[in-house]
Every structure is written in structure tokens, then in C-alpha cells.
Amino acid sequence: MSEAVVASAYGGPEVLSVIDVTVPEPGPGQVRIAVRAAGVNPFDHKMYSGAFGTDPAKLPMRLGAEAAGVVTAVGADATGPAGPVQVGDEVIAYRAPGAYAAELVVPASSVVPKPAGLSWEQAGGLMVVGATAVHVLEAISLSKDETVLIHGAAGGVGLMAVQLAVARGATVLGTASPARHELLRDLGAIPIAYGPGLADRVRAAAPEGVHAAADLVGTDEAVDVSVELVADRSRIATIAGFGRGAQAGIKLLGGSPGADPGTDVRDAARLQLTEAVEAGRLRVLIAGSHPLREAAAAHRQIMTGHTSGKVVLVP
């Protein structure tokens, strides 16, 4: 037997608990992983909050989508994006449904090698935010020598998007609270405080204009300022402001109805992200680490909306 986190009902973090589960032997094309860390993401909370419905048939609900750990068993023909997977390999798994667990069986196609320089916590928190950031930058067609406005630049996806945009040779303007400005400067961005007067502050920081924008927070301000400053609405994307974004005619990205899930782009991003880490172009910042049995505390932390970096669970 092993342990896994489940939501036993729909509601807040108080519905989360740890149960004993049986972990099967991997079948053809599958691998079993002893999980060392699992990333916690806002989408995980939405799954049991009722945001996507309250079908009782889905309870108890396993949670999580990304994990890092050691391969303990492999099925026949277990080959991932980087080649054959073997027992003892240190790996990152994404997409990995039910990743809040001590052990996990996933398709080998979900597994990529863990960069040696990453801690388990960093590895467990890399993929969801990293792949989302890659999808955003691809969607807005960001190129070298362009200027991009990133709303929510100090959040989980924002920190990744800032670094990846800087690595592309872009000038990055990142909105955040003043307490996060030094961090953004350290990552190569020009920090800008959000709130009244944002458009004017962006114009002052980028007098030659803004080519593209990414809304990673979902506020009306983020969408409205982006539309005001970026001439081509096809170069504005949101991962959170779906209602206002649809009205404005900008790109909607992610899991919401009518949004582009970017499946192929996000899957291809896995090896791009590990290569960027290995090359020193990408850092994974951890905001908090909690034992598996404290999943509720981890969710309360991310629900504040004020974390800089990833929150992870450690079995």
C-alpha cells in the first residue's frame, strides 16, 4: 500500500485527506515512480472547489499533475521523449494525474530526465508553470528585440515567463507589487507596480511601445491595459481572464471552455525546459514545501495569491 491525497467532497482545503492506495505494477509503456516532490497548482484547487462542476461520481478525487522522483519499475517498451526509461532513473513526470502521492504509475511518454542541478522540490514544481509560460510566449509570437508586458510577473507562471522571455532577447516589463520588484530586476525584467495609472507607467518605461502582452492574473486591469497598449490583439493572451478576454477578442489559453489547451506546445516544452535549466537560463523558485499530509496547508498558501514561486508537496 501507498499514500495519496484525495478530495472526499467538494469545497475548500478542509476536504483534503490522505488515504491508502494500491499501486499497480506498470503495464506496457508505463513506469512506476517513487515520488520525491509534487507540484501544487491553482488548477488543482479548482478541481475540487466546484469550479468545474460537482459530480459526486468523481469523488474521492485524486489531485495533482506533476511530480519528480525515482523510477522503481518499468513495463515493456517504456520509452519517453528522451529515450528508454530504466529503473533508478531520476525523472520529472508531466502529465501525471494523481501526482499528490508517494508512488505513481504514469505513461513513460510523460517522463523526462531530471536535470542534475535541480533539487527534488524544484523538479517537482517545474513543468506546469514552465509549460504554461512556453505556451503563452508562443501564442503571442514573442521574438528577439521586442517588448512584452507580463501581468503577474512574480507569480508561478510569471517568473517562468519573465526568464524565458529574457532568454529570447526580449525586453520584459513585469507588473507586481513593489515588494517583488527586486526579484524581477534580478531576473532581468523592468518591474512596474500595478494599480491606477498602470498604462501611463508602462508608456514611460517603454516609450517606443509594447509589441505583445500576457495576462497571468485575470484582472480587468490586465486585459484593459494590454488592449490599450498593444495594437495587434492576436498578440495578447490570457490564462485567467477568460470572460473579459473573450469580450476583448484576445487569445484564451488553458483549460477553460473555448480556450486553446496548447497540448502539443506544452508537451514539447518539457525537454525545452529541462535544457534551459541545464544551460543556466532558467531558475525554479520555491515558495514553500509541505509534507503530503499537509496538502490542505499547501492549498491555503496558494489560495492567498501572494506566493512568489512554487509550492510543493513532499511525501
pLDDT digits (tens, 9 = 90+) for 63-116: 999 999 999 999 999 999 999 999 999 999 999 999 999 999 999 999 999 999
Render pLDDT for 121-130 as a digit per residue (tens, 0 to 9): 999 999 999 9
3-class DSSP assignment, residue 42:
helix
For residues 1-15, b (16+ Cβ closer than 10 Å) or e, as one string?
Answer: eebbbbbebbebbeb
pLDDT per position as a tens digit, 45-63 = 999 999 989 999 999 999 9
pLDDT above 90 covers what percent of the chain? 97
Our measurement of the distance from residue 109's CA atom to the centroid of its chain's CA atoms, rounded to an integer in Å, reads 19
Give residue-wise pLDDT tens across range 211-234: 999 999 999 999 999 999 999 999
Query: In this predicted model, what pLDDT tens digit does every residue of 288-307 receive, in sequence order?
Result: 999 999 999 999 999 987 78
> Whose grid coordinates read 524544484?
122
Is the pLDDT at 254 greater than 90? The verdict is: yes
Separation CA 143–CA 172 (nearest Å): 12
Reference 101, options 59, 68, 148; nearest CA is 68
Q: How far is it, in rounded angstroms, from Cα 84 to Cα 86?
A: 7
- Residue 152 φ/ψ region, left for φ over 0, alpha for ψ in the -120 to 50 degree band, beta for the rest: left
Q: What single-letter amino acid sits at 213?
A: A
Identify the band that residue 308 occupies on the pLDDT scale cut at 50, 70 and 90.
confident
Mean pLDDT of the chain: 97
- What the block records as the C-alpha cell of 45 is 484547487
Banded pLDDT at 278 (limits 50, 70, 90): very high
pLDDT of 256 reads 86
Please tell me the predicted confidence (pLDDT) of residue 306: 76
